[in-house]
Amino acid sequence: MRSSWLRDKALPLAAWAVVLFLHIPLALIILYAFSAEDKSYVFPPPALTLQWFAVAWGRDDVWAAIRLSFSVAAFSTAIALVLGTLAAAALARARFFGRDVISLLLVLPIALPGILTGIALRSAYHTLEIPFSFWTIVIGHATFCVVVVFNNAVARLRRLNPNLIEASMDLGADGFQTLRYVVLPQLGSALLAGALLAFALSFDEVIVTTFTAGQQTTLPIWMLQELIRPRQRPVTNVVAVVIIALTFVPIVIAYTLTRADEPGHR
């Protein structure tokens, strides 16, 4: 029957074809990083080599960009951790007027198109005559990273047995001691997952960054410049593979942490 052909053959075929479509470009990029060809988008690559990794290692501009991205991500994550956890502590259980509005406010920087957040910040810096600097980037990044930490923290806090906090206080620990001995240890893995996601997000972000960085070059901005005006294509390929690793690894760890944390998993 025609319908069973559709169901049993055509459907899985279509599904896996889409999956393939999603993954072939990535596989190709990894392949290209090893291509010996100078023009490097020639397909198929004539030979495979590791030489470009060495060349990329020697490129100072790449290292400068990595260093900048790293520090921006580190500071943004730190700020987002503090703000996100505070917000989660306030909103996890309390019911008060304006609670939903605040949740919306936290998610807006990520929900609205990056170009809007970018140009809004740009307008503010311009109007207040603030020159571009490391901090103008960090401020933007921290703002949209907050919600990532917030979501993880809130999810974990909601699962926390409120009796634990009462028990701790009952046994003689004041609010701060309870925070230190009971709440934070429970929150630990959620905060780590949130921090990793925030780091990856900040590391990879380009749109808001281009509006707030001025002349500075983060790794994504470096990549963007290479896309428009390529210098050494093979080096770009290598850097692309490095970026995949640097953003991919924290996300996978965060994903495993969140999965392991869920009830019923252990």
Partner 1 sequence: MNTLALPAPRLSLRRQASNLLYRRRGLLLLALLGPVLLWFGVVYLGSLFALLANAFFRLDDFTGQVVREVGVGNFVALLEPANLDSAWRTIVMAVVVTLACTVLAFPLAYYMARRARGTQKALLYIAVMLPLWSSYLVRLYAWKLLLAKEGAISWVATKLHLQWLLDLVLTTPAVGGPSLSFSTLGTFIVFVYMWLPFMVLPIMASIERIPASTLEASADLGALPATTFRNVILPLAMPGVAAGSIFTFSLTLGDYIIPQVIGDSTLFIGQIVYRQQGVAGNLPFAAAFSLVPIVVIAAYLWFAKKRGAFDAL
Partner 2 sequence: MSAAVSLDRVSCVFGTGPQAVRAVDGVDLEVGAGEFFTLLGPSGSGKTTVLRMIGGFTLPTAGRICIGGQDVSLQPPYARPVNTVFQDYALFPHMSVRDNVAYPLMVRKVARAQRESRADELLALVQLPGVGDRRPAQLSGGQRQRVALARALVGQPQLLLLDEPLGALDLKLREQMQSELKALQRRLGITFIFITHDQHEALSMSDRIGVFNKGRLEQVATPQQVYNAPATRFVAQFVGAANVLEGEVAQRLTGRAAAMLRPERITLGGEAQARARGNVSEVQYFGSFTRLRVDLGDTHLQADLPAGTAAPQAGQSVHLHWDDGALHALQST
**Positions in 46-75 near partner 1 (CB under 8 A):** none
- Residue 186 interface partner, choices partner 2, partner 1, none, CB cut-off 5-8 Å depending on type: partner 2
Assess contact for 114 and 208: CB atoms under 8 A. Answer: yes
In the block, tokens 């495993």 appear at 256
Burial-class residue 155 by CB neighbours within 10 Å (0-12, 13-18, 19+).
middle
And the tokens for 10?
């055509």
For the bound state, the minimum distance from the C-beta of residue 246 to partner 2, rounded and expressed in Å, comes to 31
| Residue 196 makes contact with partner 1 by CB under 8 A | no
CA distances from 33 to 20, 45, 163, 173 (A): 20, 10, 55, 56
Please report how close the Cβ of residue 25 comes to partner 1 at its closest, in angstroms.
Answer: 4
Which of 39, 95, 265, 266 touches partner 1 (CB under 8 A)?
39
User: Quick one: 131 or 172, whose CB is closer to partner 2?
Assistant: 172
Q: Of 146, 191, 198, 235, which lies in the binding site for partner 1, with binding defined by CB under 8 A?
A: 146
**Residue 73 binds which of partner 2, partner 1, none (CB < 5-8 A, kind-dependent):** none
In terms of CB distance, is 109 or 194 closer to partner 1?
109
Q: Compute the least distance from the CB of residue 42 to partner 2, in Å.
A: 56
Task: For the segment 79-118, give every residue that binds partner 1 (CB under 8 A).
Answer: 82-83, 86-87, 89-90, 94, 96, 102, 105-106, 108-109, 112-117
Among 173, 240, 244, 253, binds partner 2 (CB under 8 A): 173
Pick the closer one to partner 2 by CB: 113 or 175: 175
Q: Residue 181 interacts with partner 2 (CB under 8 A)?
A: yes
CB 222 within 8 A of CB 60: no
Residues 6+ apart with CB under 8 A from 211: 115, 118, 119, 121, 122, 140
Instruction: Give the C-alpha separation, 197 to 248, whole Å.
Output: 10
CB of 170 to partner 2, least distance (A): 5
Residue 57 structure tokens? 């290692």
Restricted to residues 7-66, the positions that interact with partner 2 (CB under 8 A) are none
Closer to partner 2 at the Cβ: 153 or 200? 153
Tokens matching residue 24 = 């072939």
Mark residues 225-254: x for contact with partner 1 by CB under 8 A, - for none. -xxx-------x---x--xx--xx--xx--
CB nearer partner 2, residue 39 or residue 266: 266
For 27, residues 6+ apart whose C-beta sits below 8 A from its C-beta are: none
- Give least dist CB 155 to partner 2, A: 17
Q: Which amino acid is at 127?
A: T
- The b-or-e profile of 126-145 (16+ CB within 10 A means b, else e) is eeeeeeeeeebbbbbbbbbb
Q: Which tokens go with 118?
A: 């970018």
